Amino acid sequence: MTWEIALVFVLLVAVLGCFVWEKFPPDITALGLFLVLIATGLLSKEDAFSVFANPAPLTVGAMFVLSAALVKCGAIDRLSGLIEGSARWPYAAVMLVLVVLVAGISAFINNTPVVVVFLPVVLKLARKMQLAPSKLLIPLSYAAVLGGTCTLVGTSTNLVVNGIVTARGQPGFSMFELGWLGVPVTIIGAIYLSLLGKRLLPVREMLTAILSDEERREYITEAFVQPDSPVLGKTINEAGLTRTRGIRVLEVVRDGVALYLDPQAVKLKAGDRIIMACRMKGIVHTRQMTGIDLVSELNLGLEQIAAHEGSLVEAVVTPHSALVGHTVKGMNFRQRYRMVVLALHRQGKNVREQLETLPIMPGDVLLMMGTDKAIDTAANGEDFMFFDRARVPAKPQPKKIAFVVGVITAVITTAALEWVPIELGALAGCVLICLTRCLKTADAYASIEWNILFLIYGMLAMGMAMEQTGAAAWLAGSIVHGVEQFIPHAHKGIVMLACLYLVTTILTEILSNNAVAALMAPIAIGVALNLGMDPKPFIVAVAFAASAAFATPIGYQTNTYVYGVGGYRFGDFMRIGIPLNLVCFIAAMIIIPRVWPF
């Protein structure tokens, strides 16, 4: 082992630790790794930047755009309506239809927007069936994951592995080649969820369950600061308008302008209008305060907000929300949305303290209160997906639907017939869709999950460093040597296939699936060459295992998304996901050697 190989492994362990620690976003960690590889001389600047010529991330970005166009024109909304009428069916039948439909769509477009669109449909379906949403949301995510394993473009993981494989001179995947494994496993998964889903999935309460009865009965009202009020010059907290007295100050309006609200800094002035969410005792307390009068009890000629019960709503933060990465305080949330955040659900935990300074992440569930007008305005935007407000579906545009579907079909067909490389076809499809105004250019750029692309680039650089320093070959040789000590020659192939699959799936459960795919694909090729076998079965195992992650909510983006929405705990995924992981493993060990011989 050389010092370069040792340094590569040190960096690899450090990066994996950062991914698990989650102190920094994965894409920032990957870009930091990219710079370190250049700074340490493990990669030359020319070699490092050559990863940006890899077509895989470009293809992933293009598929994000094509998926967004399909959602924007209303095609997915039409398909989602197919399951709304199944509420009277038995649970097993509903589950079978849900999994097959979602998996079928996810086989051809990015699975995250599919889950986003189907989420309110599934919540509505759960209410009609008088079921807890937690009985349906994990299957929704699993269906999207399973569908993505059926085609080359079904998931970014397949595209990443394909890009690495072709860059190393190995034959890539055809469009439907992975379906030999993905389709049977999807069928098995649908049957598994239909028969055992209701028994294994928990009943979880929504975020509103953490509120007391008194907190559920809050009222939105206004108060006016009189010129002779004793609270003049005092902050909101000093004036006694605090939560302990049953009052939440939502906004202070001065001269018609909503002020940036800091209860410890904003000093009240004569004429200020204070918009509050009050419990009954808060309204009583406000009425008793000298110099602060409820607007509804005055005749000041002001536009009044009559005291009425504030609405409590739950909403999940969408992947492309403007809130992502920002704090409630930093976004001036109360003024921006005219609502107040009461609690947040993340990674199985309900958070009620320090909400103002907690960075918002995609998939976070916010419990908010506001007027019906404010809630309806937010529901029509793209920052939230409300649970108890009907999602405004994309306006059906038959001509655009036909055109977008035709473009995506052309991209898939030309790639399947090997007329046009998938990266060129996908890019051409994006250009056509933007030129014909099926999707605005700004919306196209916004639909791309840039963090995933930069994560892929960083990990591709790591894979290149492992190859050039000999680390991948050293690791592959060590693995093969270890297996040869205990396993007869006749069984080396299947045992090594199982080892690679299990290592990949375990890593995927705790790390990014794309990062694991970029890391394990070169190792799989090295192992196969050391064994003197065809690399294809080992590559298929890595590609499939890097997607088939069901045992944790952090293994796949769609799992993370439904994690907060369903109020799940970490163990809920393990209870239903580990058996499904085992089913997928057994199926892969049976199918792969038969379709792709060693």
| Range in 86-100, 233-247, 346-360 with the lowest mean pLDDT | 346-360
| Range in 5-9, 136-140, 288-292, 333-337 with the lowest mean pLDDT | 288-292
Per-residue tokens: 570:
């970490």
Residues 287 and 372 in one domain: no
Label residue 524 by pLDDT band (50, 70, 90). very high
Does residue 392 sit within a domain? no
How much is the mean pLDDT over the chain? 83
**For residue 523, what are the domain limits?**
3-205+404-595
Determine the Cα–Cα distance for residues 367 and 277; give it in Å rounded to an integer: 14
Helix axes 450-469, 156-167, angle to 10 degrees: 30
Of 184, 74, 216, 45, the C-alpha closest to 584 is: 184
Q: Is 50:38 a contact under the CB 8 Å cutoff? A: no
Label residue 424 by pLDDT band (50, 70, 90). very high
Label residue 37 by pLDDT band (50, 70, 90). very high
Angstrom CA distances, 106 to 19, 453, 557, stand at 26, 19, 14
| pLDDT exceeds 50 at position 297 | no
Q: Is 124:136 a contact under the CB 8 Å cutoff? A: no
Position with higher pLDDT, 274 vs 307: 274
| Single residue among 309, 329, 357 that ends a domain in this structure | 309
Which residues make Cβ contacts (< 8 Å) with residue 22, sequence separation at least 6? none
Can you tell me the mean pLDDT for 400-425? 92
Locus of tokens 């998938």: 422
Residue 292, beta-bridge partner list: 225
CATH number at residue 371: 3.30.70.1450
Position with higher pLDDT, 27 vs 296: 27
- pLDDT for residue 562: 85
| Single residue among 291, 309, 327 that ends a domain in this structure | 309
In 81-203, beta strands by DSSP E: none
| pLDDT exceeds 50 at position 496 | yes
Give the containing element (helix H, strand E) for 254.
strand 247-254
Residues 418 and 378 in one domain: no
Residues 477 and 584 in one domain: yes
Residues 279 and 415 in one domain: no
Residues 322 and 292 in one domain: no
- pLDDT for residue 290: 63
Residues 180 and 267 in one domain: no
Label residue 100 by pLDDT band (50, 70, 90). very high
How many structural domains comprise the chain? 3
Helix axes 26-39, 3-21, angle to 10 degrees: 160
Residues 316 and 303 in one domain: no
Q: Is 53:167 a contact under the CB 8 Å cutoff? A: no
Can you tell me the mean pLDDT for 64-70? 90
- pLDDT for residue 483: 78
| Range in 69-73, 272-276, 404-408 with the lowest mean pLDDT | 272-276
Q: What is the pLDDT of residues 117-129, one digit of tens each?
A: 888 888 888 888 8
Q: Which residues of 193-228 are buried (b: 16+ CB within 10 A; e: fewer)?
A: bbeebbebbbebebbbeebeeebeebbbbbbbbbee
Can you tell me the mean pLDDT for 568-590? 93
Locus of tokens 């055809």: 174
Can you tell me the mean pLDDT for 398-406? 88
Position with higher pLDDT, 36 vs 296: 36
Residues 36 and 77 in one domain: yes
Does residue 210 sit within a domain? no
Q: Is 292:226 a contact under the CB 8 Å cutoff? A: yes
Can you tell me the mean pLDDT for 453-475? 89
Residues 538 and 410 in one domain: yes
Sign of CA dihedral 556, 323, 337, 439: negative
Does residue 67 sit within a domain? yes
Label residue 298 by pLDDT band (50, 70, 90). very low
Q: Is 346:362 a contact under the CB 8 Å cutoff? A: no
Question: Structure pTM?
Answer: 0.79
Alpha carbons within 13 A on the beta-carbon side of 359: 9
Residues 365 and 412 in one domain: no
